[in-house]
Amino acid sequence: MKKPFDNNSIEIRIELAAYLLKLRLGLNLTQNQVAIESGLSQSAISRIENGKEAASLFNLVRVYRVLSQWESV
């Protein structure tokens, strides 16, 4: 039986990226808006959301902070 924390870090990062995408869409924000606020490029946001690259934890946190600020508005 697989334990819940047996996932490798890439799978976890991809799941987090999918969550961030869902959150961004729910807030009706564009990738460009998130990019400007996070200091990342729009193409980096796109690659993260599409799973084209496993984002660093640092970049995931940057995006999350932007989205959480908008969520509390």
Mean pLDDT value of segment 34-59: 90
- pLDDT of res. 24: 96
CATH code of the region 19-71:
1.10.260.40
- pLDDT of res. 7: 56
Q: In the structure encoding, which two tokens stand for residue 46, read together?
A: 């796109």
Residue ranges of domains in the chain: 19-71
Q: How distant, in Å, are the alpha carbons of 1, 12, 14, 40, 69 from that of 49?
A: 30, 13, 8, 13, 19
Check: pTM over 0.75? Answer yes or no.
yes
